[in-house]
Amino acid sequence: MKTLAKLHAEKGIWMTDAPHPECGHNDVVIKISKTAICGTDMHIYQWDDWAQSTIPVPMTVGHEFVGVITEIGPEVSGFKIGDRVSGEGHITCGHCRNCRAGRRHLCRKTLGVGVNRTGAFAEYLVIPASNAFKIPNNISDDMAAIFDPFGNAAHTALSFDLIGEDVLITGAGPIGAMAAAIAKHVGARNVVITDVNDFRLDLAKKMGATRTVNVSRESLKDVMNEIDMHEGFDVGLEMSGNDTAFRSMLECMNHGGKIAMLGIPGKDTLIDWNLVIFKGLIIKGIYGREMYETWYKMVAMLQSGLDISPIITHRFNVNDFQQGFDTMGSGKSGKVILDWN
Ligand code: NAD
Ligand code: ZN
């Protein structure tokens, strides 16, 4: 079968042939219809330090997908051939304390599809059946293909009560823009989003941000004065991984503010801890999606009128994958879909 794989320890991704996956007792095999390119795939494509120390070569990559079940292991119940599914890319151990308590997103032994094991950029993918998630008929393939990053946005945005709150999102990448849409959908008042990229800020505006701030030109504090927000933000969603953005978030939070942190900061990031202590801030780290509360919430939000469709800005046939990766790397895109049909 056709796959997109990291074949060489250098920048790039290559189309290659791989054997059809074998379906284990508790697995499902999924015929992939659409995949999306993640920021993580871009790190793997660029072959940066993180990728070099994490990704085995050769390996099929990718973890954002939708497809149809074509094979079911003998021990699997609850799925049938023909079911349209996306899937949770974090494979958890199932027997640690957190897994057994239903807190699978906190498993200490998580393995990532397309990061630590064979990925979804392939005609067929095998995953444990417990990681598959059935997609209701009224949700499109395009939406289902981005449930993984939409889930990062949902897990982060729904970490704290947003009703009537003033929310600051730092980073208007695909996940930040989707978080803006969610915050507005669930009833936040001001949803202010920052970035240094106008294309992405425009997209975030389209998705529901009430004010965009290009911090290379405007100061967040001036914007707060302009919109009469003198006390500070109630909730912060850090989605840039940028140290300066995080430091300015700490400065702009109200006392008692809550921060959910998805962006991955530099290892040696310095912050003013006095802001955390004397403002009584709560900071929560976010990894992946809650299994499977986040997945149910995503479906429910789409079915109750949340529209995140503008985030998909480009669609390519998988044979044009290079264009897809170039587009994703250009900074002038939201999500990029690759069609495997
Ligand atoms: P992305 O890289 O596409 O978006 C980050 C955005 O931050 C970019 O648009 C960039 O221009 C912007 N930015 C840069 N400097 C800034 C500054 N000073 N102020 C404000 N914005 C600034 O990433 P994404 O795919 O949207 O993901 C968001 C973040 O979440 C990334 O850091 C990613 O690594 C991380 N992530 C974490 C998890 C997890 O499980 N914790 C999962 C997925 C992604
Ligand atoms: Zn576990």
Total number of domains constituting the chain: 2
What is the distance in A from the centroid of ligand 2 to the CA of 103? 8
Interatomic CA distance for residues 190 and 124, integer angstroms: 43
Instruction: Report yes or no on 167 lying in a domain.
Output: yes
Same domain membership, residue 79 and residue 191 = no
Q: Which domain holds residue 108?
A: 2-146+308-339
The alpha-helical segments, DSSP class H, found in the chain are 39-46, 49-54, 97-100, 141-145, 147-157, 174-185, 198-207, 220-226, 243-252, 273-278, 293-303, 321-329
Residue of minimum CA distance from atom 3 in ligand 1? 173
CATH number of 88's domain: 3.90.180.10
Establish if 298 belongs to a structural domain: no
Q: Say which CATH number the domain at 212 has.
A: 3.40.50.720
CA 294 – ligand 2 centroid, Å = 18
40 is catalytic: yes
Q: Is residue 291 part of a domain?
A: no
Residue 139 sits in the same domain as residue 44: yes
What's the gap in Å between 262 CA and the centre of ligand 1? 8
**Same domain membership, residue 159 and residue 115:** no
Tokens at residue 119, please?
């990925």
Annotated binding site: 38, 63-64, 93, 96, 99, 107, 175, 195, 200, 262-264, 286-287
Q: Are residues 250 and 174 both part of a single domain?
A: yes
The Cα 203–Cα 335 span in angstroms is 11
* Domain-located, residue 299: no
Q: Are 85 and 40 contained in the same domain?
A: yes
Same domain, 25 and 62: yes
Annotated catalytic residue, options 3, 35, 40, 170: 40
Q: Looking at the structure, tell me whether residues 179 and 262 fall in a common domain.
A: yes
Reference 109, options 126, 90, 127, 132; nearest CA is: 90
Length of the chain: 341
Domain membership of residue 88 (yes or no) is: yes
Task: Report the helix count and the strand count for the chain, using DSSP H and E.
Answer: 12, 18
List per-residue pLDDT tens for the chain, 341 residues long: 999 999 999 999 999 999 999 999 999 999 999 999 999 999 999 999 999 999 999 999 999 999 999 999 999 999 999 999 999 999 999 999 999 999 999 999 999 999 999 999 999 999 999 999 999 999 999 999 999 999 999 999 999 999 999 999 999 999 999 999 999 999 999 999 999 999 999 999 999 999 999 999 999 999 999 999 999 999 999 999 999 999 999 999 999 999 999 999 988 999 999 999 999 999 999 999 999 999 999 999 999 999 999 999 999 999 999 999 999 999 999 999 999 99
Is residue 301 assigned to a domain? no
Do 22 and 70 lie in one domain? The reply is yes
Whether 59 is covered by a domain: the verdict is yes
Same domain for 59 and 162: no
Chain centroid offset of residue 208 CA: 18
Residues 176 and 224 in one domain: yes
In a domain, residue 302? The reply is no
Q: Which residue, of 270, 285, 300, is where some domain finishes?
A: 285
- For residues 86 and 178, state if they share a domain: no
Q: Are 106 and 198 contained in the same domain?
A: no
Look up 95 and say whether it is catalytic: no
| Residue 290 to residues 107, 163, 212, 277, 298, Cα–Cα distance (Å) | 11, 21, 29, 28, 11
